[in-house]
Amino acid sequence: MSDWDWSEDDLGRLAAFLADRGLTSGAVSTRRIGDGHSNLTYLVSDGAGRSVVVRRPPPPPTPPGAHDMLREARWIDALAGTSVPVAPLLATAEAGEVIDVHFYVMGFARGPVVTTRTPTPLDTPGVRRDLGHALVDTLADLHAVDWRGRGLADMGRPEGFNERHLHRMGRLVADGAGDPPAHFAPIVSWLSARVPAESGAAIVHNDYRVGNVVLSESAPGTIAAVLDWELTTIGDPLFDLGYFLSSVPEPDTAMTPTEELGTAMLEPGWPTRKELADRYAERTGADLADLTWYTTLALWKLAVLYEYGRRRAVRGVGDPYYADQALVQSFLDAAHHTAGLDPAPRPSEHP
């Protein structure tokens, strides 16, 4: 995780920026929040008890086109007033306006974020079940948003999304000839041979899981806000469902890093993967015949992203968290298991 923090000069400029917009008054303090290893999120508070949230990219170097906070802000703004709960967008700043990178400011959604346990008073089987239903219902509501009517037609290319997604992500770890690493090859072959036609076109969050929502304390069993719209695009909604289900841990099975960020869902009351998938199909009418492919794709994609992060980390230019090859292997193992393949091969070397 990055050790970047606000300098005194940064805080002074931030306080002035927020005060000019009537969001805070006087000096401000910041506190890092969130469990991610990507963009940096801060709770910013003034002496009068007012709080906002600031999201900024990680320090450079960053991959080209990644960590576009202003693009993320546009999604949040466009979803305001829909059935998808989002914190209100309050302000944006260009690089150099306050600090050396762009950022945006949003309202602070009060409530817990669940990872390893469901907090009191939400920790009853009945409320946990309601929360699971709220999670999948919110995903269905997101996929039902009229993205063209919201002015988002330029934010993605849904045609050919599945094939393009497979090839574009694969290039991140391919060699000079375009071939995947040997320990990735079997799952790439399986996915490539079974690419389904897109099930539809919708706003795809791309990182939807229990750790990326704020739960409501005032209305137990409901969601106060969906967070982390960094990877959102227009694409196949079943990829979102497959990714979400891949983050839900199952009893007595090895867990991936994303499942470890949601172990609370093993507590009594939380719906199972199958129950969540069935509810999504009931809500949307989606045909889930190809769901195994989408879930496998999500796990393979995470293996690719973690391998990309591992290579950067071992070169000393990325987050050290990703340096452990076992993280990559856990996603490959889960992808093979989901696809019904033999166990994933181990790498012969680490490039």
Tell me the per-residue pLDDT of 89-140, one tens digit each, with 9 for 90 and over.
Answer: 999 999 999 999 999 999 999 999 999 999 999 999 999 999 999 999 999 9
**91 close to 182: Cβ distance less than 8 angstroms:** no
DSSP 323-335: G-HHHHHHHHHHH
Q: How far apart are the first and last CA of the chain?
A: 23
Task: Specify whether 284 is located in the same domain as 160.
Answer: yes
Task: Specify whether 87 is located in the same domain as 168.
Answer: no
Rounded to whole angstroms, the Cα distance separating 85 from 80 reads 8
Whole-structure pTM value: 0.93
- Name the strand (E) or helix (H) holding 281: helix 273-284
- Extract the tokens encoding 76: 């949040």
Confidence of residue 59 (pLDDT cuts 50, 70, 90): confident
The answer to the question of residue 244 being in a domain is yes
What mean pLDDT comes out for the span 47-75?
Answer: 82
The answer to the question of residue 96 being in a domain is yes
Query: How many residues does the structure list for the chain?
Result: 351
Supply the CATH number for residue 38's domain. Answer: 3.30.200.20
Rounded to whole angstroms, the Cα distance separating 309 from 299 reads 15
Domain tally for the chain? 2
Which structural domain range is residue 333 located in?
125-339
Return the pLDDT at 173: 96
The answer to the question of residue 116 being in a domain is no
Is 256 a residue whose pLDDT tops 70?
yes
Task: Specify whether 193 is located in the same domain as 295.
Answer: yes
The answer to the question of residue 221 being in a domain is yes
Supply the CATH number for residue 333's domain. Answer: 3.90.1200.10
Task: Specify whether 137 is located in the same domain as 60.
Answer: no
What mean pLDDT comes out for the span 69-75?
Answer: 94
Task: Specify whether 230 is located in the same domain as 320.
Answer: yes
Rounded to whole angstroms, the Cα distance separating 35 from 71 reads 21
Is 350 a residue whose pLDDT tops 70?
no
The DSSP letter of residue 160 is T
The answer to the question of residue 303 being in a domain is yes
The answer to the question of residue 234 being in a domain is yes
- Extract the tokens encoding 184: 């990735």
The answer to the question of residue 328 being in a domain is yes
Edge-to-edge order in the sheet of strand 103-107: 28-33, 40-46, 51-56, 103-107, 89-93
Task: Specify whether 79 is located in the same domain as 130.
Answer: no
Task: Specify whether 85 is located in the same domain as 155.
Answer: no
Task: Specify whether 230 is located in the same domain as 270.
Answer: yes
| Buried residues in 84-95 as b, exposed as e (16+ CB within 10 A) | bbbbebbbbbee
- Extract the tokens encoding 285: 């009418």
Return the pLDDT at 64: 52
The answer to the question of residue 164 being in a domain is yes
Q: In this structure, which long-range contacts are made by residues 314-321, counting pairs with CB atoms below 8 Å and at least 24 apart in sequence?
A: 314/350, 317/61, 319/1, 319/2, 319/37, 319/58, 321/1, 321/37
Residue type present at position 302: L
Confidence of residue 4 (pLDDT cuts 50, 70, 90): confident
SS3 content of the chain, % helix, strand, coil (to 5): 40, 10, 50
Confidence of residue 39 (pLDDT cuts 50, 70, 90): confident
Task: Specify whether 86 is located in the same domain as 149.
Answer: no
Task: Specify whether 81 is located in the same domain as 141.
Answer: no
Task: Specify whether 222 is located in the same domain as 98.
Answer: no
Task: Specify whether 234 is located in the same domain as 310.
Answer: yes
